[in-house]
Structure 1
């Protein structure tokens, strides 16, 4: 079982899906990717999640992020489940669901946690950047539905902090003030961030979001 850690290059794979064969690196291209796993088709919590992601797809698109789900059932089963999702969640699933009946991708990405369930994938979210580096993982218990607004928030933070020497504080949302990274001296920060730098402590300096 893989033990993928932040900063690792994620493995490539070729696998069937609800939309045909997916060659992962080719499919991802130069986009960010949100890969999220499900224990099985026709599960109630995941039905609500897949519906929500289809509703939010335009938000992921704005961030140059592709979404792809995974379940251990086959593509035909996925197609039947998608019908239920569209009906019950009043939406249209508009992204692929990987068919991982052989557990190939689950094993590559370490989605089987034997002490939780030796046969089913845990419900993990992977955020992968265009360089195919793993930037975030969140693993949820089966009883708790995921918060995809939080996934969007993290992508906003990653894209901002990749491009500017800032970090995002607790509960940050796009447009809020950000933290100046500790490696920049305050005088240099004042030049770098002309909107102003507030020095609360020598190590805690805030500035308006630089790309707003």
Structure 2
């Protein structure tokens, strides 16, 4: 028996897969987000406890993402009516209003395009995948979590800020970088430049490891 070919996984620094989908806020396409950062994230199912905690966390931080010029867009392989009922339930039971749209992906078209379906976890539900797409529609980061462990929304926001700051300042970010921390200076590419690095005014530990404040 011939196995069904799986769609190619999305790749970093390439155009994000296009989509045109029904959401709780009407139809949405990738082009609708041109000129903005987009945080696209999937969850396994509506009316499930881990997903509920994640949605509440994203809802609480929606304004923080908006301050960085980023919009949120959720997705699961559930119907639009299920999404609406769940969002109303979260507001009623937890007092949290979910203000971002959620894609109803019953045909799994968007989930397949973004590699949200991981057969080792489930053939019919999306794992906890998160994609950061820049204003030019380029996929800049993707993070996958298993179904039984909720993701860190604070880390996703930190990653967004780090990417934006790196773009603005042409630098790299060290582990767990947050605003106010020093950033990484690109290592020199020649022996001559490596020899000169110690005199360039950076906080240099060795020729390949230098930091600077922003």
TM-score past 0.5 threshold = yes
What are the equivalent positions in structure 2 for 1:1-212 lying under 5 Å apart?
1-26=7-32, 28-183=33-188, 185=193, 197-208=202-213, 210=214
The answer (yes or no) to whether the contact 2:130–2:143 under 8 Å persists in 1 is yes
Please give the per-residue CA displacement for 1:33-88, whole angstroms capped at 9, x wherever unaligned.
10000111111101111111111011101111110000111111100000122233
**More moved, 149-158 vs 165-174:** 165-174
Relative to structure 1, is the Cα distance of residues 170 and 76 closer, same or farther in structure 2, using a 3 angstrom cutoff? Answer: same
Please give the per-residue CA displacement for 1:129-180, whole angstroms capped at 9, x wherever unaligned.
1111111111101111110110111111111111223111112111111111
Task: Give the TM-score normalised by the residue count of structure 2.
Answer: 0.89
Structure 2, unpaired ranges of 5+: 1-6
Runs of 4+ in 1 over 3 A off after TM superposition: 183-191
- Alpha-carbon shift at residue 122 of structure 1 (Å): 1.1
**More moved, 55-64 vs 179-188:** 179-188
The answer (yes or no) to whether the contact 2:188–2:197 under 8 Å persists in 1 is no
Q: Secondary structure at the match of 1:137?
A: strand
The answer (yes or no) to whether the contact 2:121–2:147 under 8 Å persists in 1 is no
CA distance in 2, matches of 1:84, 1:74: 15
Task: Give the TM-score normalised by the residue count of structure 1.
Answer: 0.90
CA distance in 1, matches of 2:81, 2:142: 28
Q: Secondary structure at the match of 1:179?
A: strand
Give RMSD over aligned pairs: 1.8
Q: Secondary structure at the match of 1:87?
A: helix
For these two proteins, the number of residue pairs brought into alignment is: 204
- Alpha-carbon shift at residue 89 of structure 1 (Å): 3.4
CA distance in 2, matches of 1:104, 1:129: 21
